[in-house]
Amino acid sequence: MATASRTRVLIAVLLGALFLAGGCTDMGVSPPASAAGPDSTAGGGGVSFANNVLPIFDRYGCYGCHGGTNGLVVGTVADLLRGGIHGPAIVPGKADSSLIMKKTSPTPPFGDRMPLGGPYLPDSVRAVIGAWINQGAKDN
């Protein structure tokens, strides 16, 4: 990966960690949050689902809404791959094609922007999820 790309991913992950460290506004039951940095994967140097992405779902209350709403559950990578009534929530390696990225964008292709009732995900937080998806959406 080019140095500039790695730097952008590192900045996005660090900004996401800062948001996570600010406290939890979760509206449902969820696992504990971690604000671990970008090198928190076992092999280092990537975005971790458990340490970087799952805490975002925790912080923004995704469990309260997507504990089965429209068939979607967001607690595991397998759940995200399975998706809900609108199909898989993620397409490994293709953040731009992933429904989760489209539905959290300012202009979703259908329905309301997520997370419903806000606060909406800042671009820096969406970048962490997008980086994880583009890195293959690994269950790490």
- 56-96 per-position pLDDT tens digit: 999 988 865 666 668 888 999 999 999 999 999 999 999 99
For 114, the domain range is 3-134
100: in domain: yes
Q: What is the DSSP string of 47-111?
A: --IIIIIHHHHHHTTHHHHTBTGGG-B-SSHHHHHH-BTTB-S--TT-GGG-HHHHHTSSS-SSS
122: in domain: yes
State the total domains in the chain: 1
- Helix and strand numbers (H, E) in the chain are 6, 0
139: in domain: no
91: in domain: yes
Choose among 57, 62, 38, 55: nearest CA to 135.
38
From first to last of its 140 residues, what are the pLDDT tens digits of the chain?
A: 566 555 555 454 444 433 333 333 333 333 333 333 343 344 457 999 999 999 999 998 886 566 666 888 899 999 999 999 999 999 999 999 999 999 999 999 999 999 888 789 999 999 999 999 999 999 99
140: in domain: no
CB 41 within 8 A of CB 59: no
114: in domain: yes
